[in-house]
Chain A
Amino acid sequence: MVRTVSGPPGRGAGSSGPASPAARPAPRGALGPRGRPGGVASFIRRHRLTPYALLLPSAAAIGLLLFWPTIQIAELSLQNYGLPQVTGVAPTQWVGGANFSAILSDPEFWLSLRISLIFAVVVVPLTLLIGTAVGLLLNRLGRRMATFVSSAAMLAWATPAVSASVIFIWLTDPDGGIVDWALAKMPSWLGGGAHWAGFSWTNSALPAYTLLTVLVVWQGFPFVAVSVLAGLKTIPAELHESARVDGGGAWRIFWRITYPLLKPIFLVLLLLSIIWDFGVFTQAYLVTGELGNRDEYNLGIYAYDRAFTLPPSYGVGSALALILTVILLIITIGYVRASVRQGAVQ
């Protein structure tokens, strides 16, 4: 705003700064004695490469930290690289798509993929729903109550994943866990009953992932709540006020005003939640009994197992990492495209 009023400073004098536009061909003499050492700079200027030059450092960093490892993983995924190859007992060989076909023909891969997908489909909406509800609540609470509720939520968020998992494992212990004890004491019309005494939450996939759902939602909703709250604070109070004056209920106000305005935030939260919940490892690893229950593996644990447990196969692990990346790209790319298009229309 301010810039358009006052105009670009220093534009009037063509020679005032090195960053001045070089759209007009400079007079021959202007290159002068500084022409040669400034060859690169003038090349950049002539070809309008300044934006790219500015992007170069971050592109180099990303390339070094992201693209190079990705290329390495792609290379490994086509090799039989394992421990004998590391120690030199056996030679490294190119195996083409053998790693990929071994994974795709493994029933355990499809089981773990199914578990990961179902888990994400349940946990992502739950986290977003509860997080949004708490965010809206925090926005309406008085200062003291808001501090209380948000610090309680922050504690859940700040608890390290390992500690939280161990606490949940203890809570649901078949011998002395409070959950089984309480469920056994509850009347049957509340779903309780004596059959809960000594109930094992980890001996098959359904109870184990039910427990994990509670754990991951509990740890994941505060981030959503805080993000939604931050978004709500940016909406001018007049908008909600006038909507209320016009007779809009809370439900309508949310869908007509809050949700459209916070859409970009929800989109980011959705993407992050999908990526996190689809790839949840720490909690799942601990709750399902480390690597001891193959029929309870999710994709993350399956990939870890194939890559690193005896005998380690870094080739198969790399192939799995690529497959996981592609799956996540397929899931997320649609949303990213939709959001970009929406942003352009608006």
Chain B
Amino acid sequence: MRLRKTPAAIAALGAAALAIAGCSSGGSSTTGSSSSSAAPAQLTVWRMGSSTPAQVTWMNSVISQFHKSDPAYAKTKVKVVFVPWTNRTQDWTNALSSGKNAPDITELGNTDTPTEASLGMLANITTNVNSWTNKSNVVSGMLANDTQSGTIYAVPWFGGVRGIWYRTDQFKAAGITSTPTTWADLVADAKKLMAKNPGTYGLGAPTYDTPAVASFIWGAGGQIATQQGGKWVAQLTSPQSEAGIKFYVDLFRTDKVSPSKYIGQTELGNVGATSGGANEDFALGKLDMYIDGPWASGTFPANAVGKSSWASFPIPSENGPNPAPVFSGGSDLAVWSGSKFKTAAWKLVQVMDSVPNSTSFANSQGFFPPYTSQLNGGTYSSSQLLSGFAKAATNSQIAPLNAKNWATADATDLVIPTMMKQLMNGADFTSTVTAANTKLQNVLNNGSQG
């Protein structure tokens, strides 16, 4: 790898130099698409989330770099549209089915990429990525998630993992000397914290939080689904998986360290609501521990308390001492299949996803860049808040996240969220898990439950 890396980098640098020298008008465009290589008057970028000042500043700096990167694009206007996360699939669908108001570049959640690629939404950028300077530096599992049968549809932009947020001051007051590494310790600590801080809950367990549930299934040695001979086989009914599911359900039902209002909620509250979730309760001191990524601080209200004591530890496995595997989340960047300016769009993607730009963006939002060179740098492991997450990130799992129909199973059909909700509401354990298992397998293989 090392030997091959340098020539590849030189070749890519050469290509970049040629591009800077103004060769963009020639017919020898490196993109495999039939789109025009002429400089467009405008490129539209769809970003996810809300346009906070930090996001706007970062985006403006990227746009000015893009203008300088190539004289041909100096006058290209870049229009940035912020799409709320909950509206994203609807907006993509509308743009795709109508062919109107579509972007040239879109950000996607990494779980969206396999599904949207199979629907024909994303351009094939295999040749571009293969000649991309940063390709060998990208965490390989993340790029694999964007690849289907050898065709690359997106590039990783930033990533993140979930861990457990806690407050060092509360741990100290409750006499907890080290962070828990087994489930028994976790529940015991949650109860200690509740006893020390009356009126609070110990550990939030929202039902619509599959990444958290997944870590408990994996932490007991179970699997959600595995691929066998090209088919997905759901594994929720294995004894290990059931142990993980049962532990999470019991956080509410028997241990009572999580309130009833989290049933049906994501970690951010009811779907569509902007407040009242576990994130807000933790920030306001009403919840002692909660599961989320380092990016969560961006969702905390302004009157958050205990800021200087915020810290994290990885989600424990059933019997310790190593942490449970985590779902690796994050965002990708992709070129829209219907874009008329795929060459320019890929150019802008490269600027957005350059190592310094990706790193500065990830840092400002509480994520990690997708580059191994940055992750191994050690800046993250020395931070009180980020060290736990950085430790968790070393043990991340992709499957069944890379299944083509995972987004359908999880975000549309809500197989695991509905199962968790029914169980917390008192449904029969075995029959509920069995039904969810059948449904999950159908959706993963057929794209629908029918």
- Check if A292 sits within 8 Å of B414, measured CB to CB: yes
Task: Indicate whether A289 sits within 8 Å of B90 (C-beta atoms), given known contacts A204-B263, A294-B413, A310-B411.
Answer: no
Q: Which chain A residues border B120 with CB–CB below 8 Å? A: 83-84, 87-89
C-beta contact mask, A286-300 vs B, less than 8 Å → 1, else 0? 100111111110000
Q: Which chain B residues border A213 with CB–CB below 8 Å? A: none
Task: Indicate whether A310 sits within 8 Å of B421 (C-beta atoms), given known contacts A106-B449, A289-B272, A294-B414.
Answer: no
Query: B226 an interface residue at 8 Å Cβ cutoff?
Result: no
A-B contact pairs, 15 of them (CB 8 A): A87-B97, A102-B448, A173-B276, A175-B261, A200-B264, A202-B264, A202-B270, A289-B265, A289-B270, A289-B273, A292-B264, A292-B265, A292-B414, A294-B413, A312-B93
- Check if B450 sits within 8 Å of A102, measured CB to CB: yes
Query: A127 an interface residue at 8 Å Cβ cutoff?
Result: no
Query: B89 an interface residue at 8 Å Cβ cutoff?
Result: yes
Q: Which chain B residues border A202 with CB–CB below 8 Å? A: 264, 270
Task: Indicate whether A311 sits within 8 Å of B408 (C-beta atoms), given known contacts A286-B272, A295-B418.
Answer: yes
Q: Which chain A residues border B271 with CB–CB below 8 Å? A: 289-293
- Check if B412 sits within 8 Å of A310, measured CB to CB: yes
4 closest Cβ pairs, A-B complex = A292-B271, A102-B450, A89-B120, A203-B263
- Check if A310 sits within 8 Å of B448, measured CB to CB: no
Q: Which chain B residues border A310 with CB–CB below 8 Å? A: 89, 93, 115, 407-408, 411-412
Residue on B nearest A180 in the bound complex, by CB? B261
State the CA gap A202–B273 with chains docked (Å): 12
State the CA gap A106–B439 with chains docked (Å): 10
State the CA gap A203–B417 with chains docked (Å): 12
State the CA gap A305–B86 with chains docked (Å): 14
Query: B437 an interface residue at 8 Å Cβ cutoff?
Result: no
Q: Report A280 CB to chain B, min CB distance, Å.
A: 17
Residue on A nearest B337 in the bound complex, by CB? A87
- Check if B276 sits within 8 Å of A106, measured CB to CB: no
Task: Indicate whether A198 sits within 8 Å of B408 (C-beta atoms), given known contacts A102-B450, A289-B271.
Answer: no
Which B407-450 residues sit within 8 Å CB-CB of chain A?
407-408, 411-414, 417-418, 421-422, 425, 447-450
Size bracket of the A interface: 35 or more
State the CA gap A103–B96 with chains docked (Å): 26
Interface residues of B (CB under 8 A from A): 86, 89-90, 93, 96-97, 115, 118-121, 208, 259-261, 263-266, 270-273, 276, 337, 407-408, 411-414, 417-418, 421-422, 425, 447-450
Residue on B nearest A89 in the bound complex, by CB? B120
Query: A174 an interface residue at 8 Å Cβ cutoff?
Result: yes
- Check if B260 sits within 8 Å of A290, measured CB to CB: no
Which A283-323 residues sit within 8 Å CB-CB of chain B?
286, 289-296, 305, 308-313
- Check if A309 sits within 8 Å of B412, measured CB to CB: yes
Q: Which chain B residues border A289 with CB–CB below 8 Å? A: 264-265, 270-273
- Check if B425 sits within 8 Å of A106, measured CB to CB: no
Q: Report A80 CB to chain B, min CB distance, Å.
A: 11
Interface of A is mostly: loop
Q: Which chain A residues border B450 with CB–CB below 8 Å? A: 101-103, 105-106
State the CA gap A203–B266 with chains docked (Å): 12
Residue among B120, B264, B418 having the largest count of chain A Cβ atoms under 10 Å: B264
State the CA gap A179–B449 with chains docked (Å): 39
Q: Report B34 CB to chain A, min CB distance, Å.
A: 15
Q: Which chain A residues border B425 with CB–CB below 8 Å? A: 203-204
- Check if A293 sits within 8 Å of B272, measured CB to CB: no
- Check if B261 sits within 8 Å of A198, measured CB to CB: yes
- Check if A308 sits within 8 Å of B93, measured CB to CB: yes
Q: Report B270 CB to chain A, min CB distance, Å.
A: 4
Q: Which chain B residues border A103 with CB–CB below 8 Å? A: 450
Q: Which chain B residues border A171 with CB–CB below 8 Å? A: none
State the CA gap A87–B425 with chains docked (Å): 41
State the CA gap A198–B121 with chains docked (Å): 43
Residue on B nearest A314 in the bound complex, by CB? B97
State the CA gap A75–B260 with chains docked (Å): 46
Task: Indicate whether A203 sits within 8 Å of B260 (C-beta atoms), given known contacts A106-B449, A292-B208, A311-B408.
Answer: yes
- Check if B90 sits within 8 Å of A174, measured CB to CB: no
- Check if B413 sits within 8 Å of A89, measured CB to CB: no
Q: Which chain B residues border A199 with CB–CB below 8 Å? A: 260
Query: A86 an interface residue at 8 Å Cβ cutoff?
Result: yes
State the CA gap A203–B422 with chains docked (Å): 10
Q: Report B339 CB to chain A, min CB distance, Å.
A: 13
Q: Which chain B residues border A295 with CB–CB below 8 Å? A: 418, 421-422
Q: Which chain B residues border A296 with CB–CB below 8 Å? A: 264
Q: Which chain A residues border B422 with CB–CB below 8 Å? A: 295
Residue on A nearest B405 in the bound complex, by CB? A311
State the CA gap A101–B259 with chains docked (Å): 40
Residue on A nearest B425 in the bound complex, by CB? A204
State the CA gap A193–B89 with chains docked (Å): 43
- Check if B260 sits within 8 Å of A200, measured CB to CB: yes
Task: Indicate whether A305 sits within 8 Å of B270 (C-beta atoms), given known contacts A198-B261, A200-B260, A200-B263.
Answer: no
State the CA gap A173–B264 with chains docked (Å): 14
State the CA gap A103–B449 with chains docked (Å): 10
State the CA gap A14–B199 with chains docked (Å): 94
Q: Which chain B residues border A174 with CB–CB below 8 Å? A: 259, 261, 276
State the CA gap A198–B436 with chains docked (Å): 29
Which A169-198 residues sit within 8 Å CB-CB of chain B?
169, 173-175, 198
State the CA gap A288–B414 with chains docked (Å): 14
Q: Report B18 CB to chain A, min CB distance, Å.
A: 34
State the CA gap A105–B438 with chains docked (Å): 14
- Check if B259 sits within 8 Å of A86, measured CB to CB: no
Q: Which chain A residues border B86 with CB–CB below 8 Å? A: 290
Q: Report B109 CB to chain A, min CB distance, Å.
A: 12
Q: Which chain B residues border A105 with CB–CB below 8 Å? A: 450
C-beta contact mask, A245-288 vs B, less than 8 Å → 1, else 0? 00000000000000000000000000000000000000000100
